[in-house]
Structure 1
Amino acid sequence: MGNLIKAEFRKTLSLKMWWALMIPAVVFAFLFAMGWGAVTNDFSDFLGSRDTRELTDALGIQTGVLPVGLLALGHGINIGTIFPIIFGVFALAGEYTKKTITTTFLTAPNRVSALTAKMITYIAWGAVYGLIISAAASLGTVLTVSSARLPTAGQWLGMFGAGVLATVLATLFGIGVGAVWRSVVGSVVTLIIWMLVIENVLVFLAYGWGKITWLGGVLPNGTVNGIVGAIGAEAFGAAGVKVPGLDSETSWFLQFAAGAPGAFSWWASALIFLAWTMLFFGAGWAVNQKRDIT
């Protein structure tokens, strides 16, 4: 198994894809954190004075020290998470495209060993992506949010941990989708359209037409975003334990501002997205046990 894992790392490092996707992940995480940091730094005006006063009174804190940096940090990490998903797609679908999957399977004792080695390797890569993306989002947040509104040390550590967890699961999710589809282009295009467009439209329509607030908390993009975003929402009482007197509209708005509309809590989002990941990864694992590679 050790040799198979080494081979996977060498295979990945010999290609440009790992850093070609890392660059836009860092840039987008940094810019989104900066943009949201600039907006949320004046969160009192952004929310409205009445809602802000009610919220801060319920939380027992002063308006000027609302930890709005969590919102910027969450959005930065979440936008960067799309790139580990794409990176994961290349893990198996890329090998089918380049016709190297035959060598991979034939040089391993069996396909289970080959796929296990690939899974372990990409868990490590997912963690690397998570740390770097979180660092880039943190820099963008620090540059635009005043010091009194930045996350506490514990909140920052929690965001980093959640960011790593989200990118690890996102990478495995991408592997599963690519393994099932076996097409890099098809998988990437479908995932981008679904996660950045279709799902967001569905969440907004569900809320706008039927006041359905939970849809984003069960769909793939919403749940992977909720792993990080719900920490910010929880800090404002909009996820997890509810703040008394906080109405559903303000709660949903705060969840949206945190990048996690519909999220129940960070751990619930993690469990639901883990289920989506295992669904696709398990399906990809199953179909590749018998798939013809000639």
Structure 2
Amino acid sequence: MGNLVQAELRKTTTTGLWWGLLIPTVLVALGGGLLTGLIGQAFVDLTSSADAEQLSDLIGVTPDQWKFSLFGIARSINLTTMFPMIFGALALSGEIGRRTITTTFLTAPSRMHTMLAKLLVYAMWGAIYGLAIMGFIALGVVLTSHPGQLPDTGGWAMLTLVCVISSILMTMFGVGLGGLVSNMAGVTVLLIMYFLVIENLAQFFLRLSGAPEAIVGFLPNGSVDGLTGSVVADLFLAKAGVVPEEAVEVLRIIAGAGGAQVWWLSGLIFLGWVGLAFGGSWALMTRKDIT
């Protein structure tokens, strides 16, 4: 297994795909962080009016304690973790499409060992992408945000944890889809369209139809967004003072956690989707004739 892991690692580091996708990842993360801080600062300035101050006195919280930048952090994480997902999808679909995976299957003890090695290597890459994403989002937020908008040390630690977990799971989901859809362009378009368009439309019509909100939290995008969104919603509500019950769900939707379970359960739900995608890819790869 050690040699297989090293071989899989060389495959990813000897091509430009890992850094070619890492560059836009960190740029989008930094841009999201900068924009998040600016919007949070604008909100603080807007809520400094006399009416807002009266409301602040009523609930015992000043506007600069309303950490609205947290919502931007969550959305930035959810957007940028699509890049490691695409990295995983392109890496495996590219191997299959170019038939370079043939040598690996012929020299490895078994295809199961090959897929396990891929699992370990791409989980590592997911963690690397997750740390880079969180680091550049944090840099952007710190540079432009009001100090009161920033999470405390425990909040940063929790956000980093869920960002890394989300990135690892998204990478593995991409690997699974890359094994099922071996066309590089096809799998990229499929993932982008699903996570940015198709499921968001599905969530909109579900809410419009009056379907139970919890359904959203069991969909792939809803569950992985809920992983970060639930943490952000909890961090915000912990500092926001008295929030009307009817406003809590609205805040959770803004954070990306509408209908989602607690963060760890949302992660387990998306892990189930990852298991389906990767398991399907595993089954296909272990039975498919590779020439």
Q: Output the TM-score relative to the length of structure 1.
A: 0.89
Aligned to 1:200: 200
Out of 143-152 and 162-171, give the one that drifted further. Answer: 143-152
- Is the contact between residue 91 and residue 118 of structure 1 (CA under 8 Å) also seen in structure 2? no
Provide closer, same or farther for how the CA distance between residues 2 and 94 of structure 1 changes in structure 2, counting only shifts above 3 A. same
Aligned to 2:126: 126
Q: 1 CA distance for matches of 2:221 and 2:77?
A: 13
Percent identical residues = 40
For residue 276 of structure 1, report the CA deviation from its aligned partner: 0.5
Aligned to 1:283: 280
Residue identity matched to 1:258: A
The within-5 A match list for 1:198-277 is: 198-210=198-210, 212-237=212-237, 245-247=244-246, 250-277=247-274
CA RMSD between the two structures: 2.4
Deviations 1:78-102 (A, max 9, x none): 1110001101112321111111011
- Is the contact between residue 41 and residue 68 of structure 1 (CA under 8 Å) also seen in structure 2? no
For residue 225 of structure 1, report the CA deviation from its aligned partner: 1.7
> SS state of the match for residue 125, structure 1?
helix
Aligned to 2:24: 24
Q: 1 CA distance for matches of 2:290 and 2:38?
A: 51
For residue 265 of structure 1, report the CA deviation from its aligned partner: 2.0
For residue 104 of structure 1, report the CA deviation from its aligned partner: 1.1
The within-5 A match list for 1:85-124 is: 85-124=85-124
- Is the contact between residue 231 and residue 266 of structure 1 (CA under 8 Å) also seen in structure 2? yes
For residue 4 of structure 1, report the CA deviation from its aligned partner: 0.7
Out of 8-17 and 28-37, give the one that drifted further. Answer: 28-37
The within-5 A match list for 1:133-148 is: 133-148=133-148
For residue 212 of structure 1, report the CA deviation from its aligned partner: 4.5
For residue 9 of structure 1, report the CA deviation from its aligned partner: 0.9
Out of 137-146 and 11-20, give the one that drifted further. Answer: 137-146
For residue 228 of structure 1, report the CA deviation from its aligned partner: 1.5
Provide closer, same or farther for how the CA distance between residues 211 and 237 of structure 1 changes in structure 2, counting only shifts above 3 A. farther
Q: 2 CA distance for matches of 1:251 and 1:132?
A: 31
Q: 2 CA distance for matches of 1:207 and 1:144?
A: 34
For residue 214 of structure 1, report the CA deviation from its aligned partner: 2.9
For residue 283 of structure 1, report the CA deviation from its aligned partner: 1.0
For residue 24 of structure 1, report the CA deviation from its aligned partner: 1.0
Residue identity matched to 2:93: A
- Is the contact between residue 34 and residue 72 of structure 1 (CA under 8 Å) also seen in structure 2? no
Any gaps of 5 or more consecutive residues in structure 1? Answer: none
Provide closer, same or farther for how the CA distance between residues 271 and 43 of structure 1 changes in structure 2, counting only shifts above 3 A. farther
Q: 1 CA distance for matches of 2:23 and 2:128?
A: 13
- Is the contact between residue 176 and residue 281 of structure 1 (CA under 8 Å) also seen in structure 2? yes
Aligned to 1:4: 4
Q: 2 CA distance for matches of 1:216 and 1:176?
A: 22
Residue identity matched to 1:27: L
- Is the contact between residue 68 and residue 150 of structure 1 (CA under 8 Å) also seen in structure 2? no
> SS state of the match for residue 258, structure 2?
coil
Deviations 1:104-123 (A, max 9, x none): 10110110111111110111
For residue 71 of structure 1, report the CA deviation from its aligned partner: 1.7
For residue 43 of structure 1, report the CA deviation from its aligned partner: 4.0
Aligned to 2:73: 73
Provide closer, same or farther for how the CA distance between residues 43 and 219 of structure 1 changes in structure 2, counting only shifts above 3 A. farther
- Is the contact between residue 40 and residue 71 of structure 1 (CA under 8 Å) also seen in structure 2? no
Deviations 1:6-50 (A, max 9, x none): 11111111100001111111111121222233223344658x978
Q: 2 CA distance for matches of 1:41 and 1:212?
A: 35
- Is the contact between residue 213 and residue 252 of structure 1 (CA under 8 Å) also seen in structure 2? no
- Is the contact between residue 30 and residue 76 of structure 1 (CA under 8 Å) also seen in structure 2? no
